[in-house]
């Protein structure tokens, strides 16, 4: 486990989002997956969408180890369909590299994660340099 400290994000007080980062940083992938709606979607960079809590937990167990997430600031916007759109920016560190990212969330009216997308905020040249 990496950290059990509580995450704070400038502009974000939504507990499900704060817990998303807390659980991931603690390596608790089952708890992270349970924040999603039963048919929730995780969209990692360069991969197919991961759909459903069990699939998300399995994916995070394989791919989430060693990640350190450092969310810095975010914004919350209600949508017309009673969902909530949240965007968080920060960075992620792996044992090999660090990269700036944004997280794009859609929350259900019940405050479950319906959709979470991780977007890399790096130029193509920066990404190619990482492969070397």
pLDDT of residue 4: 45
Tell me the per-residue pLDDT of 57-71, one tens digit each, with 9 for 90 and over: 999 999 999 899 999
CA–CA dist 112, 104 (Å, integer): 14
pLDDT of residue 128: 55
pLDDT of residue 112: 97
pLDDT above 70: percentage of residues in the chain: 88
pLDDT band at residue 33, thresholds of 50, 70 and 90?
very high
Q: What are the structural domains of the chain?
A: 15-131 (3.10.450.50)
User: E strands of 1-132, at which residues?
Assistant: 36-43, 50-51, 68-78, 84-93, 98-107, 113-120
Averaged pLDDT, 4-28: 91
């Amino acid at each position: 486990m990496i950290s059990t400290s509580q995450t704070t994000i400038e502009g974000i007080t939504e507990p499900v989002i704060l817990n998303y980062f807390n659980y991931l940083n603690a390596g608790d992938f089952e708890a992270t997956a349970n924040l999603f709606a039963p048919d929730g979607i995780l969209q990692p960079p360069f991969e197919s969408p991961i759909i459903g809590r069990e699939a998300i937990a399995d994916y995070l167990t394989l791919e989430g180890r060693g990640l350190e997430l450092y969310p810095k600031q975010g914004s919350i916007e209600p949508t017309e369909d009673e969902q909530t759109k949240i965007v968080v920016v920060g960075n992620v560190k792996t044992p090999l590299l660090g990269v700036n990212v944004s997280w794009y969330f859609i929350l259900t009216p019940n405050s479950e994660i319906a959709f979470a997308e991780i977007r890399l905020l790096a130029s193509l040249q920066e990404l190619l340099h990482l492969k070397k």
